[in-house]
Amino acid sequence: MKLQHRHFVIGITGGIAAYKTCELIRRLQDEGATVQVVMTESGTRFVSQLTFQALSGRPVYCSAWETPAQSGPANAMPHIDLTRECDAILVAPASADFIARIANGQANDLLTTLCLAREVPLFIAPAMNRQMWQNLATQRNIEQLRHDNIRLLGPDTGSQACGEIGDGRMLEPQSLLAELIAQFGPHSEHPLAANTPNIRGVLQGKQLLITAGPTFEPIDPVRGITNRSSGKMGFAIAQAAADAGAAVTLISGPVHLTTPTGIHRVDVTTAQEMHEAVKAALLDLPRDCFIGVAAVADWRPSTVGDTKIKKDSGATLTEIDWIENPDILASVAQQPNPPYCVGFAAESGSLNELEKLLPEKRARKSVPLLVGNIGETTFGEDTNQIMLCDENGTELLPTDSKSNLARILIFRIAQRLCNH
């Protein structure tokens, strides 16, 4: 169980997405965590206190003026006591009203009060109509939460209870669970994770261009070659860069991930499309830093079949003429006055082999910083282990969540940009 001995306060505000939180609580307990539910008064209008009490096995708190039965004297001051017992607070769903109140430091109910009194991380999972999410007032409040080092999870894009389609859906329970496991699961015990640097403002005013995910190279209308990259590392780095104050353009291959808030995303499919998008982005604005995280296919078929190649046609894959794709990272690094370039190299084999490969690859691509990892241990996972390679040699960082590693990497990049 990945969250054994972890305890979370789950805040529930007024929104139809509260029904999803029932599933989240069940999944958290399946992973060994314990859960204390705190609801706003409007939250109780959607799912009852009794439901969450039955699911969590604990009395549900709704008011600072009430002491639920069986809570005991230790919780005589719930807005203080509840925060001292937990590893983190997650508010899911977080309504536009709750976000506005917490962004402005209000403490007019139990949930906002304990959020102000906390000594633990606070995670917010927004859930609202797309127009409420896009409203300038909401976006100002979201930026304030980021500035206050409150972690935003989502929102997602899709159909909404009102019948409209767009941004504002609460993330699904499995996505919220994955984030908590990444932050508090077995790999988060490393000293490095406990000392993740404060990156607020370290890239303020900087323009970053980031690639993420795989590329897909078609062979015929229904087949193609790709790789197992999920895009999670690149998206985590984009989120960390935005949290650090940077303006971020994210060019992504085909992935099933939500765009981090405030980031301009460009979707592509093939390596050539990614290369063209990178060139266009560099022409559009001068960039301070380019981070090539995408796992770009090295080759593509010289021609794409107009119809599906049949098994009984006699054709074989060895008859396909393969040509090399452009090296996007090297092409950016070789430009006149290039941005500070950071590359990623996903290799197979052992860490010892990776340590031998990285210096030569860094020199060949002419980049100041190359980040290596072992593909088969990181593709699709929420954790990673990375090795940094620069002119001073290599440094292996302990296995950690991709979110934490992204923040550490952004901090290191910000330090290097100061001297670039």
Q: Which residues in the chain come in under a pLDDT of 50?
A: 69-74, 189-194
- Give me the helix-helix angle, 18-30 and 49-56, nearest 10°: 10
Yes or no: domain 7-184 corresponds to CATH 3.40.50.1950: yes
Q: In percent, how much of the chain has pLDDT > 90? A: 59
* Extended strands (E) in 270-354: 289-292, 299-301, 322-324, 340-347
pLDDT at site 67:
62
For residue 330, the SS3 value is: helix
What tokens appear for 133 in the block?
């999410």
pLDDT at site 387:
94
Taking the C-alpha atoms of residue 420 and residue 416, their distance in angstroms, rounded to an integer, is 6
Q: Measured between alpha carbons, how far apart are the two ends of the chain, in Å?
A: 45
Helix (H) or strand (E) holding 277: helix 271-284
Query: What are the domain boundaries of the chain?
Result: 7-184, 194-418
Q: Is-same-fold flag (7-184; 194-418)?
A: yes
Residue carrying the six token digits 């005589």 = 76
Taking the C-alpha atoms of residue 97 and residue 104, their distance in angstroms, rounded to an integer, is 11
Q: What sections of 31-153 are H helices per DSSP?
A: 49-56, 78-85, 96-103, 110-116, 130-134, 136-147
Give one word for 166, left, alpha or beta, with left for phi > 0 and alpha for psi -120 to 50. left
Active site residues: 162
- Topology, domain 194-418: Rossmann fold (3.40.50)
pLDDT at site 194:
43
- Give me the helix-helix angle, 96-103 and 136-147, nearest 10°: 50
Neighbour count for residue 159 (Cβ, 10 Å): 10
pLDDT at site 206:
95
pLDDT tens per residue, range 100-120 = 999 999 999 999 999 999 989
pLDDT tens per residue, range 321-371 = 899 999 999 999 999 999 999 999 988 888 899 999 999 999 999 999 999
